[in-house]
Amino acid sequence: MKILGTGLSGLLGTQVVDTLKQEFSFINLSLETGVDITDPKTLEKAFASSDAPWVFHFAARTDVDIIENEKNLKVQSPAWKVNVIATESIASLCKKTQKHMLYISTDYVFSGKKDRYTEEDIPDPESFYAMTKYEGEKCVLRLGDHGLVVRIANPYGPWESGKKDFVHKIVDELQKGSDIKAPDDQLFVPTFIPDIASAIERLIRENASGIYHVVGDDVCSPFQVASKIAVYLGASDAMVQKTSFASFFKGRAPRPFHAVLGNDKIKRLGLKMTSFQDGLQIIFSKRKDTV
């Protein structure tokens, strides 16, 4: 099956493409291939020349703090142009050409003030980044049975490719001998990228629509995550230090305090999500590094 895709050279896109390359033929819509997703004319030409039944929209501006500093620009901000206007353009072209659209969203659309969120919960974004992603979701859901929103959280993969995920960033810091400060009161859900790829394949095969939370099973604090990584590296316990959510993010863009997405809906499809412990074991079975 042919797939049109944006953001296929990013952290998530690279590993999803590599995992699913035997199942799908990917056509990358990017500046490198002559497509500016913020330019409707170049997008329209790419759509008109493709008979791909699905579009994967992974591209997004995601630097939460930089985007927060741009919020006074509102609809003129780079984040709004990419995360909202480009998404709206792609959704409009999908409707025109009868293509299905898969949109990658985020746990950040929720404030984190609840203990757990399902697909039925109404988003309450706090940061400007989160607001742009929620607006993008709305564009996609207006496609009805041709629109699929996949919310992910804290993706990490078995290998490094392009932009580093949070696990490999922590590994790098510990290997440099740097201490890690991590909140012990914040909660989030790590998600193994090959699981995201498997879920995407299943959802595509079933022509799924609506919202799905494609996240792992384990709820962790950043301190717990960093501590587990330190154990695998043989690093000293003293290198990972506790701090509070309020202290760690003081003066920065709002983040969800308890970003716990429930994955019951995706598991009812029979998909098994890799535990964080097993994910680390897979990663470190490929590495020989210790501190």
pLDDT of residue 288: 61
- In order of 46, 61, 68, 84, 86, the CA distances from 78 in angstroms are 22, 8, 11, 10, 11
pLDDT of residue 159: 82
Pairing of strands 155-156, 240-243: unpaired
Show the low-confidence residues of the chain (pLDDT under 70): 287-291
Token code pair at residue 81 = 């142009």
Q: How many Å apart are CA 173 and CA 192, to the nearest integer?
A: 21
The residue assigned the tokens 């990584």 is 229
- In order of 156, 171, 243, the CA distances from 181 in angstroms are 19, 13, 6
Whole-model pTM over 0.85: yes
pLDDT of residue 77: 98
Task: Give kind and range of the element (H or E) at residue 181.
Answer: strand 180-183
pLDDT of residue 184: 98
Nearest to 119 by CA among 3, 221, 203, 60: 203
CA of residue 73 relative to chain centroid, distance: 24
pLDDT of residue 6: 98
pLDDT of residue 160: 75
Pairing of strands 100-106, 180-183: unpaired
Phi, psi (deg, nearest 5) at residue 173: -65, -45
